[in-house]
Structure 1
Amino acid sequence: MKRLLLLAPAVALTATLAACGSSGGPARDASAPLVYVSSSRTPASIAACLEERLPRVRTSRTGAATELAVGADSHNSYFVTLTPLNGSTVIKVMHPANAPDDPPEEEMRFDIARCAT
């Protein structure tokens, strides 16, 4: 029973990420987040995990939020914002419409899910 309870947060997060869906083609809405989830981990913990898993990550802070730019210095692929909220962290990932998929979207979603649980 304990094993099942330990898996519940990971299953819930996976279901939430799956509900976000894939871009599905060129009609991607760049103003909508690619991923928008909540995690019980701290922003610092999530940022450290993502920095370890993803290539070319630059981290900065804006007020209480931690921001990560992922991709080449000249052309970022993803922007990740980690905002503390009532003891949890809100994770928002934006992917500009004309940005390259580096890393691929599936890998990015997997790494976010892994670092959020």
Structure 2
Amino acid sequence: MNTFSERLIAIVPLALVAACGSSPSSTASNGETMIYASSARSPSSIANCLEDRLSSVHESRNGNSMELVVGSRSDASYLVTLIPSGSGSVIRVTHGASTSDDPPEPELRFDVARCTT
């Protein structure tokens, strides 16, 4: 595989996450998907990266998928679901039950983009 193809494959998930970044947080209601993207990285690799970048991350497993609660377990700001796929992972981020945006949504989107490429 040539360098151009490798770069193109590496940038596609970032472009998908960036495309999701255009909607403001005021439109994301509880349970509504904020980010839906795919990555060549494994769910555990993405989870480790997000745990390093974000505070108050609680990990759990639900079958093959991993769920990361960002914020308080009982009052989560965000829920990140990482589902294994044949070529890596599918990432789904929803706004949690909390009215808090801790971390702020732009920071969360940036961290997800960094951890999925």
Give the structure-1-normalised TM-score.
0.84
Residue 28 of structure 1 contacts residue 97 of structure 1 at CA under 8 Å; is this kept in 2?
no
Code of the residue aligned with 2:40 in structure 1: it is S
Give unmatched runs, 5+ long, in structure 1. none
**Identical counterparts, % of pairs:** 47
User: How big is the shift at 1:103?
Assistant: 0.2
Is 1:54 aligned to residue 51 of structure 2? no
What count of residue pairs does the alignment treat as equivalent?
Answer: 116
Q: Give the drift of 1:17.
A: 1.8
RMSD, matched Cα: 2.1
8 Å contact from structure 1 (residues 30, 96) kept in 2: yes
**1:78 and 2:78 aligned:** yes
Residue 3 (structure 1) shift: 6.0
Bigger Cα displacement from structure 2, 67-76 vs 36-45 = 67-76
Q: Helix, strand or coil: the match of 1:109?
A: helix
TM-superposed CA distance for 1:8, in Å, is: 2.8
2:36 matched residue in structure 1: 36
Deviating runs (4+, > 2 A) in structure 1? 2-15, 21-32, 96-99
Q: Give the letter aligned to residue 112 of structure 1.
A: V
- Structure 2 unaligned residues grouped into runs of 5+: none
SS state at 1:26 partner: helix
Give CA-to-partner distance per residue, 1:37-72, whole Å, 9 cap, x none.
000111111100000000000000010000000012
SS at match of 2:26: coil
The TM-score, its normalising length taken from structure 2, stands at: 0.84
| Partner residue, 1:95 | 95
